[in-house]
Amino acid sequence: MAVDLSYSDQVTGLVAKTESFIRDHVLPIEDAHGGDITAAGGDTVRADLQKAAKDAGVFAPHAPIEYGGHGLGMSDRAPVFEAAGYSLFGPTALNIAAPDEGNVHMLAHIASDEQRQQFLAPLAAGDVRSAFAMTEPAPGAGADPNALNTLAEKVSGGWKINGRKHFITGADGAGFFIIMARTSGEPGQRGGATMFLAPADTEGLTVGRHIATLDKSMLGGHCEVDFEDLFVPDSAVLGEVDQGFAYAQVRLGPARMTHVMRWLGAARRGHDIAVGYVAEREGFGSKLGDLGMIQMMVADNEIDIAATRTLLTQACWELDQGSHAANATSIAKTFASEAIFRIVDRSVQMCGGLGVSEDLPLARLSREVRPFRVYDGPSEVHRWAIAKRTVGAARKAAAAKADRS
């Protein structure tokens, strides 16, 4: 069977336009504000950048065509998202930043026609932002979603939601929330979750403090959110009752891969800066780039970039075939989150004192990519899941062999 890894003219053209847009319009703003989206102007700079992206024809590459996007599948998104991620502000400019990008993807696949009109259309257009509220303080849902504590109780005409969430990305300023709440079972049990849609101004929904984190480029912070007798109508149920965890898989695998795409772009910028530096910097009687130890770091970065792209390609292909690609996305996410940090860390090291200074963007890139080993599932949880699937498959094979004997 032939394997074609080429992209269509539409995709390669969009990549080229995205690269030019990022270089000419976005990087200068990021650099002027040290990668801090709040310092750059928050939603004001978002609106300005997104207008410029629309004018450049690069806005919303992932969104359905009928909602103003380019309608790209997962495989075709990869090089475009990587090009956007070359700047920390690039994903915001193209409206492909987390959590909005993942929410657009999920709403396009799950939402009813009415929900698409009310929530998906303005989100895809960049008229509003959104938040996905699942993570809770201990002992609630975190890396283990089955620990979900937030409770939705059926009442006349709808549901009443009570609970607390934290580390909710983009919560401050979001126009609406997708809320994961328990509708059956007990914390620790599998299943029993439902997703609900709620406008941010709904009575009983309160966005609390920003939890300070290493990264500064995600608009709206990572916040505490409280639900106190929050009423939502039956029409606010996203998908079906008690099927929230199953529906979340529509979002989680693709969202992990788009994180890989975006942060690979950031890592590639760090690598490009370091290679440009060592190619010209004199030291120890030659250019630094001619020294064996430096060459080893350059080569290891190239290997990590190539390997990340390869694992990403496999996972995106499986997703485009309609698979949940649970194992492929776990493998790609785990490897990439660690490889991306290694790339940036080596780049810092190659540039010496400049690497840890604010004279180059490397220090802030290091700060931004480090949380990826935690976000969307810690590496340890993904390794556990990969091993569990592998061992489980071996046991099934052994049992099937015994049955045939």
Per-residue pLDDT of the chain (405 residues; tens, 9 = 90+): 567 889 999 999 999 999 999 999 999 999 999 999 999 999 999 999 999 999 999 999 999 999 999 999 999 999 999 999 999 999 999 999 999 999 999 999 999 999 999 999 999 999 999 999 999 999 999 889 899 999 999 999 999 999 999 999 999 999 999 999 999 999 988 889 999 999 999 999 999 999 999 999 999 999 999 999 999 999 999 999 999 988 888 888 999 999 999 999 999 999 999 999 999 999 999 999 999 999 999 999 999 999 999 999 999 999 999 999 999 999 999 999 999 999 999 999 999 999 999 999 999 999 999 999 999 999 999 999 999 999 999 999 999 988 887
- 234, 56 in Cβ contact below 8 A? no
Query: Do residues 89 and 49 lie in contact, with contact meaning Cβ atoms separated by under 8 Å?
Result: yes
Q: Given this model, what pLDDT does residue 2 score?
A: 66
**Phi, psi for residue 163 in degrees, rounded to 5:** 160, 180
Question: What whole-number distance in Å separates Cα of residue 319 and Cα of residue 328?
Answer: 9
Quickly count: other Cβ atoms within 10 Å of residue 201's Cβ.
Answer: 8
- Around 258, how many Cα atoms within 13 Å sit in the side-chain half-sphere? 28
**Can you read off the two tokens belonging to residue 214?**
């290493």
* Residues in contact with 65: Cβ distance below 8 Å, sequence separation at least 6, in sequence order: 71
Q: How many other C-beta atoms are found inside a 10 Å radius of the C-beta of residue 353? A: 8
pLDDT at residue 381, rounded to an integer: 95
- Residue 264's pLDDT is 98
Residues 115 and 281 sit within 8 Å (Cβ to Cβ) = no
pLDDT at 249: 85
Cα atoms in the 13 Å half-sphere on the side-chain side of 28: 6
Cis geometry, peptide bond prior to residue 139 (ω within 30 degrees of 0): yes
Contact 70, 76 (CB under 8 A): no
Pairing of the two strands 130-133 and 176-182:
parallel
Cα separation, 200 vs 132, whole angstroms = 12
CB 103 within 8 A of CB 63: no
Q: Which residue has the tokens 């696949």?
A: 109
The pLDDT of residue 1: 55
First to last CA, the chain: 34
Q: What is the distance between the alpha carbons of residues 203 and 206, in angstroms, rounded to a whole number?
A: 8
Q: What's the CA gap between 93 and 71, in Å, rounded?
A: 17
d(CA 385, CA 15): 34
- Joined together, the tokens standing for residue 255 give 């969202």
DSSP bridge pairs for 152: 161
Tokens coding 59: 């806005």
Q: Where do the domains of the chain lie, and which CATH numbers do they carry?
A: 9-97 (1.10.540.10), 130-242 (2.40.110.10), 245-399 (1.20.140.10)
Q: Is the peptide bond before 91 cis (omega within 30 degrees of 0)?
A: no
Q: CA 139, 144, 147 angle in degrees (round to 5)?
A: 45
Give me the residues paired with residue 207 across strands. 225
